[in-house]
Structure 1
Amino acid sequence: MTAIAVGALAMSAWPASAQDEEFDPFTHGTNTVRGDSWLDPQTGPDTQTPTGISWPLSEVNEDPDYYDWGCHVTAQADSTPIGCVINPEGSTDVVVLGSSYAGQWMPAILEIADREDWAVTIHTKTWCDFQPGRAITNPSPYPECDRFNTKVLELLRQDVPDIILTSHYDPSAGPHLTRVYRDLIARGVEDVVGIWNSSGTFAEEGPGLTKAAWCVRDIQFDDYTGDYTTCHYGKGSETDQGNRAMQLVDTGLDDFHYVPLQDWMCPPDSTVAPRCPAVIGRVVPWRNGAHLTNEWTHSMTNPLHAALHQDGVTETGP
């Protein structure tokens, strides 16, 4: 495995606005949706941003920083795990598994890792959901992913982590995942966390990239003179993607924790509900049709940390 000291891979500087104002993950974004606690999202006066500067600045297709570190397997033909280790001297061994849907949460995961003194091993691969022993067939057969998952599973059995963090996109995989995680828990894994999979927007919102993301980008390119309220979008079902599968596993395994987070980006008490605000606390949640921006997931650190603490996965909360 590739051991990387967390200090050697500090987060890249967040973009500054035309007025030299910097994005702050603990001021913007979900920080404007906090209710009585980090478990209670409620809209506030600064939640639904109508105009002005927003982050990320015109970067609809940004990837998480750890892609640039060489820690994500991007080539579909590659079936060899990289296994980067962030903070190898950490007191708790944590492994991040899955595709980009799990990897998109890395800005929040690494912030929590720093707080909790985690050693984080990364096993993520493009389009490769972690479901070893069950072939990937949708949208097409993906034997390289199947081989990758087999190798990762063997690594987990050889060196059992304390915590697994993952996310899933196949809603039909619940029974199989239950068996996989039951076996890993029996081998010594203390907790498996399935983080809510951003289920995207309704299909009629536009093909490919989310209409909301492109709408916001156009306003940014026009010197922020437009109205973001014209970009509000319809949310997908909470059982879309792999959320249904993770909910099923959660009901069958005491040590599996499904963490739903959709209400933070689509508050049920917002003035546009049941639609979702396109910009929240001056942060754009979507970078494309199914993935979240780095700024948004970084601002989600406290809600995710609170949920993990409530479920007994972490020793502390935000």
Structure 2
Amino acid sequence: MSAAPLATRPRTRGDLRPEIEGLRAVAVLAVLAYHLFPDALPGGFVGVDIFFVISGFLITSHLLRDAERTGRVSFVSFYSRRIMRLIPAATLVLVATAAATVLFVPRILWPQFGLDIIGAGTYSVNWLLAARSVDYLAEDAAGSPVQHYWSLGVEEQFYVIWPLLLAATFLLARTFRGSARRTALVVVAFVGAASLAYALYLTSIGDVSAYFVTTTRLWELAAGAAAAICIARVRTAPRAFRRVIVWVSALALIGSLLLVDGSSWPNAVTLVPILATTALLLWCDADAPGVVERVLMLRPAVWIGGISYAVYLWHWPMIVIAGYVLPSSWPVLVAIGAASIVAAWATSRWIETPLRFSQWFRVRPWRSFAFGATALLVSVACGAALMLAAPSNVLSPPQGATPAGAGALPAAVDLDAMTATDWLDGVEWAVPGPLDAVDDVPVIYDDGCQQDTVDAEVVTCEYGDASADRVMALVGDSKAAQWQPALDTIARDAGYRLVTYLKSSCAFADAQIERDGTEYTSCADWNANVRAALADERPDVVVTSQVRRDAFGGGDDATTRMADGIARTLGELVAAGSQVIVLGDTPQVGMNVYECVAEHPESLATCAYEREPAIEASALPAQREAVETLDGQVVDAGASASPPASPVTLVDLNGVICPAADACPPIVGNVLIYRSGSHITATYVESLTPRLQAILGAVLPASTPR
């Protein structure tokens, strides 16, 4: 049964479709719930995708309406409206976040947060986060209080491009006497299809930057734009058809919020909430509302939708900053959610609305641009101030000071001889200082020798004695890479060419590896490629280490499955005639030690951590089980005796990384041990070179022929 055609723009309240305000409320409350209680609403992050579609729809509707009324796109009017709609509240939140950072956040994090505020203020933070997401050395970066501005960066970049593209489209249509809407739809379809294809490609190869970059999100905004272009025609569909589509779309959207997960997003599943939102924009009917529309048009929903932008801005900084001063509990989280809504209402009431509709700005559009430029400078100034105010001389060494590092350890380490506090007594300086710890890394990172998490291609670099015939292969993840400074010296002195085979977060094992909650498929492919490369190279010695203790999939046998995978891989090497040396994983400290040291330079014992739990959480149990399966030998690096040769040798380094039974000191011999997570600073690794040289010298093949 057919009903009368709907108007292109259904009945509104003011200049808004109330059901769209309700849809905005769904989006922002979903994001808020996801960030507060992620397990309760695993797909809540889809709210951002809903916002993208709505933005594409509304912006394109405005541009089309203006162009059809005046015959052109008014760039000045468009951009001035966008400035006054978005920048006042965004700038206020950035300034407040900078102030809260000074009051509550450890000073060592000020440079990172300051840089992020600059990126947020210039609407480029999505690209900054994309670069950080694929930068292994940045994986331990603290959660940014302005990370959520990435979606605003995507939208602002869309707002810059879209009017120009539509204006060019309208000009093209006039030139060839075609339909402006039809031509625009073709362009939108092309842009959307290209963006979707690129998004699917990046996620298929595991490129996590796909979540943030504008090029993989344009198709979501384009879906809304296509709806704006087509709405006049499709709303003439029969009412029964529209009712079915609205219900199916609403259920699909609810299902997305409840069921999807955030791995490899956006992906093909993202089409479900995008198409559902698009359909709701097209066929929700405020003139003759059904159940779905009535729910979306409830006064609380419309009210939340009206302040949704400000809620989105405020909630995430409150969550992050509160984490530094308040315990994480459900009452605290509920209070944060309520506080973000109150702050959003106040912002909308006294900042957004007065400035947005101010006649002073409307009569002179250039004033809006001046305001926007000033706000940008304020945001950049706040971020720069944080970076400049960060501490610069925490535990700085005196001029000419040379740290002993592991050289301060006795030949045979007695764990009961000294406590962690004893090791830290009188420590007034350290190398590297805690502010420089994250940069104290092996040269391999500058040389580009560690494969990223996306590709499976084998990348090799050579160190040691470049002219040597004998080969020492260093294989594994960053826990293997951290030993390169010592192995470079050892290989050179022993007459070996050191060849590296490294990949981020990828254990050298015939086992399923996990990354971000899913199977790390590029790691498995890389492992296969490395085994083939080693079969051709036939190295005399293979040195390996890893950070993963358990195989993907969990379960009580996860460690055993990892151990079996390690044993299979190492067994192949032994069968091929290689000497295998497994460097035991270093303790999993469960924090960034350098941050603690920077905050507590006068009470360093605060930064010590329990020994046994940290060792148990490391990959050492799996490595030990694998070596024992192969009848290999375990050597304690803290002991003085050199071991006899063995086809497979595990070097347990815990005695020289944590030389105390009660707790592990963060500094030994005036050298800071940790740089990020459980990774060892290059300086401390170098100080361990003589000890490792004595151990490895007993097991390195001495014969020259290969």
Shorter-chain TM band: 0.7 to 0.9
- Gaps (5+ residues) in structure 2? 1-394, 551-558, 633-646
CA distance in 1, matches of 2:665, 2:538: 41
- 5 Å-filtered alignment, 1:131-142, equals 131-132=509-510, 134-138=511-515, 139-142=517-520
Amino acid at match of 1:309: G
Match status 1:304 vs 2:692: yes
SS across alignment from 1:97: strand
CA distance in 2, matches of 1:123, 1:261: 22
SS across alignment from 1:70: coil
**C-alpha displacement of 1:309:** 3.2
| Residue 3 (structure 1) aligns with | none
| Residue 122 (structure 1) aligns with | 500
CA distance in 2, matches of 1:136, 1:239: 19
Match status 1:108 vs 2:489: no
Structure 1 pair 18–247 and aligned structure 2 pair: CA distance change class (3 A) = closer
Amino acid at match of 2:652: P
Q: Normalising by the residue count of structure 2, what TM-score does the alignment of the two structures yield?
A: 0.37
| Residue 570 (structure 2) aligns with | 181
Q: Normalising by the residue count of structure 1, what TM-score does the alignment of the two structures yield?
A: 0.78
Contact 2:674 2:680 in 1 (8 A): yes
Amino acid at match of 1:217: A
| Residue 282 (structure 1) aligns with | 670
Match status 1:265 vs 2:637: no
CA distance in 1, matches of 2:572, 2:607: 45
Amino acid at match of 2:513: I
CA distance in 2, matches of 1:242, 1:18: 34
Contact 1:113 1:119 in 2 (8 A): yes
SS across alignment from 1:113: helix
Match status 1:21 vs 2:394: no
CA distance in 1, matches of 2:418, 2:687: 16
SS across alignment from 1:67: coil
Contact 1:51 1:227 in 2 (8 A): no
Structure with the bigger RCO (C-alpha within 8 Å, sep 6+) is: 1
CA distance in 1, matches of 2:666, 2:619: 23
Contact 1:164 1:192 in 2 (8 A): yes
SS across alignment from 1:166: strand
- 5 Å-filtered alignment, 1:1-318, equals 19-23=398-402, 28-35=404-411, 40-42=412-414, 47-57=423-433, 58-62=435-439, 63-73=441-451, 75-86=452-463, 87-132=465-510, 134-138=511-515, 139-168=517-546, 169-171=548-550, 172=559, 173-189=562-578, 191-201=579-589, 203=590, 209-210=591-592, 212-219=593-600, 226-235=602-611, 236-253=613-630, 254=632, 255-268=647-660, 273-310=661-698, 312-313=699-700
Amino acid at match of 1:228: L
CA distance in 1, matches of 2:619, 2:609: 21
More strand by share: 1
> Which deviates the most, 147-156 or 241-250?
241-250
Structure 1 pair 289–18 and aligned structure 2 pair: CA distance change class (3 A) = closer
CA distance in 1, matches of 2:397, 2:594: 20
RMSD (Å), alpha carbons: 2.4
Report percent identity of matched pairs: 23
SS across alignment from 1:287: strand
Structure 1 pair 48–33 and aligned structure 2 pair: CA distance change class (3 A) = farther
List per-residue Cα deviations over 1:65-97 (Å, max 9, x = no partner).
211011111x32121111112233124201011
CA distance in 1, matches of 2:595, 2:410: 27
> Which deviates the most, 144-153 or 41-50?
41-50
How many residue pairs align between the two structures? Answer: 273
**C-alpha displacement of 1:228:** 2.3
More helix by share: 2
- Gaps (5+ residues) in structure 1? 1-15, 204-208, 221-225
Amino acid at match of 1:182: G
Structure 1 pair 230–179 and aligned structure 2 pair: CA distance change class (3 A) = closer
Structure 1 pair 232–44 and aligned structure 2 pair: CA distance change class (3 A) = closer
CA distance in 2, matches of 1:80, 1:213: 33
